[in-house]
Structure 1
């Protein structure tokens, strides 16, 4: 049994809770060195993860900045966001989800778990391709600690860290090869990753699709509790995104911008 987990971080007065917009909290906090910014819009480097963050109440200029970051036809992926994108954006993925936080999990190290790093990325990508746990790219391993289990040299299970709002770390990339399912490897790796998070004085949390009831039940059995219901959205930038017209722009200039399709 591990030591009790640290007190759950609360909201900062006047700033809201860091998990309400976890991507933004991460990119303005511990993961600021991974951030690309345009105006009030932030995103991770595209080789790391597709997550981006808009302000809580984005305007037309914010959507234009998101489009500029992604480029024509590029994707913008958001969490904790329920509003539809502007006209012309193509929604390619939208799903309801849950955000869960550690509420007394029995975390601890695992003797079979090995630390995964950049040299393991090809094997990690192969495992992800077989199991499809969610977005995992060549640079995702840079976000935090990843642990795995190998059998006869083959990577068959892993779990690691992704978003990092102040005081919190998200457990993500949990996947197990079909050949070893039912052996409890996912449970063991989640507990091991959570142990490392707690050792830093932080609190584990995670996201799951509401439809993935099996995963949600597993997380509940491990000691996670529902914090809030959320949503995931991925949309493609229009091929020729329009530049928003400022209300102060003279009518003649506004007409010119419309003609140019900016």
Structure 2
């Protein structure tokens, strides 16, 4: 499903890195990437050899970044690209029960900041919601729940572009799953984003049916699907063999 026209959402990484989050990345008019400790994402202005060459220049020899691609691409000189799977982009389109009547549950929910960074990293290492670095919390607002001082659940904002904010890092400690904490945090973030006049969106791997089901119940719908790819410098030996 593709709910165009929403050009920013069709290129969320590029749009974020050339507008509201330009200060969190580096690059030029052809290719840009987030700083490595912020997020492992990069984007191209267009699928051209020159843009891929510009991306090549932004990567260290043993470093990889992730791209969102509209379709498979052919082999690229000096770069190794691996397709990791399909990634659904979901956008908030309707209100879930409780959203309109103001009964959102914010009990024990706290704002997280740089002082919570170590605890946030510890939780994502356990729950594995997706990539999260030492400076990811700088991308937007993060909220969480603590139990006896320990961070047991959190969610936050990642990519930010005009009119849209991505919800990400939704995770709950294994011992506290099944209690509706993830849904509470997503609903609260959604409400706060919409109060600012913006629309929440998120990305989820196509095979994660439990997460997709949760987001659908919370009023999100699949807008389109990208190919998630990992890209880095080609191994010199492999490149020589393929060119031989």
TM class, shorter-length: 0.7 to 0.9
Given that 1:102 and 1:205 are in contact with CA atoms closer than 8 Å, whether structure 2 keeps it comes out as yes
Counterpart position of 2:66: 77
Counterpart position of 1:35: 25
User: Following the alignment from structure 1 to structure 2, what is the Cα–Cα distance between the partners of residues 42 and 132?
Assistant: 26
SS at match of 2:186: helix
Q: Paired residues, what number?
A: 229
Counterpart position of 2:175: 179
Counterpart position of 2:242: none
User: Following the alignment from structure 2 to structure 1, what is the Cα–Cα distance between the partners of residues 105 and 12?
Assistant: 26
Given that 1:147 and 1:159 are in contact with CA atoms closer than 8 Å, whether structure 2 keeps it comes out as yes
1:197 aligns with 2:187: no
Q: Deviations over 1:79-135 (max 9, x none)?
A: 144333514533455110211100123444612211111111110111001011000
Q: Which has the higher strand share?
A: 2
**CA 1:42–1:88 in structure 2 vs 1: closer, same or farther (change >3 Å)?**
closer
User: Following the alignment from structure 2 to structure 1, what is the Cα–Cα distance between the partners of residues 134 and 127?
Assistant: 16
User: Following the alignment from structure 1 to structure 2, what is the Cα–Cα distance between the partners of residues 32 and 103?
Assistant: 28
Counterpart position of 1:221: 217
Deviation at 1:138, TM superposition (A): 0.6
1:148 aligns with 2:144: yes
Write out the 4+ residue segments of structure 1 that deviate beyond 6 Å after TM superposition: none
Q: Deviations over 1:2-44 (max 9, x none)?
A: xxxxxxx974xxxx61100100111112112212013410111
User: Following the alignment from structure 2 to structure 1, what is the Cα–Cα distance between the partners of residues 209 and 77?
Assistant: 33
Structure 2 segments unaligned to the other structure (5+ residues):
237-244
User: Following the alignment from structure 1 to structure 2, what is the Cα–Cα distance between the partners of residues 157 and 182?
Assistant: 12
1:161 aligns with 2:157: yes
1:64 aligns with 2:53: yes
Given that 1:127 and 1:177 are in contact with CA atoms closer than 8 Å, whether structure 2 keeps it comes out as yes
1:99 aligns with 2:95: no
User: Following the alignment from structure 2 to structure 1, what is the Cα–Cα distance between the partners of residues 113 and 204?
Assistant: 25
TM-score where L is the length of structure 1: 0.81
User: Following the alignment from structure 1 to structure 2, what is the Cα–Cα distance between the partners of residues 217 and 89?
Assistant: 36
Deviation at 1:184, TM superposition (A): 0.2
Say which of 101, 107, 115 aligns to 1:119: 115
Bigger radius of gyration among the two? 1
Q: Which moved more, 1:171-180 or 1:99-108?
A: 99-108
**CA 1:215–1:156 in structure 2 vs 1: closer, same or farther (change >3 Å)?**
same
Given that 1:38 and 1:66 are in contact with CA atoms closer than 8 Å, whether structure 2 keeps it comes out as no
Q: Which moved more, 1:30-39 or 1:213-222?
A: 30-39
**CA 1:150–1:22 in structure 2 vs 1: closer, same or farther (change >3 Å)?**
same
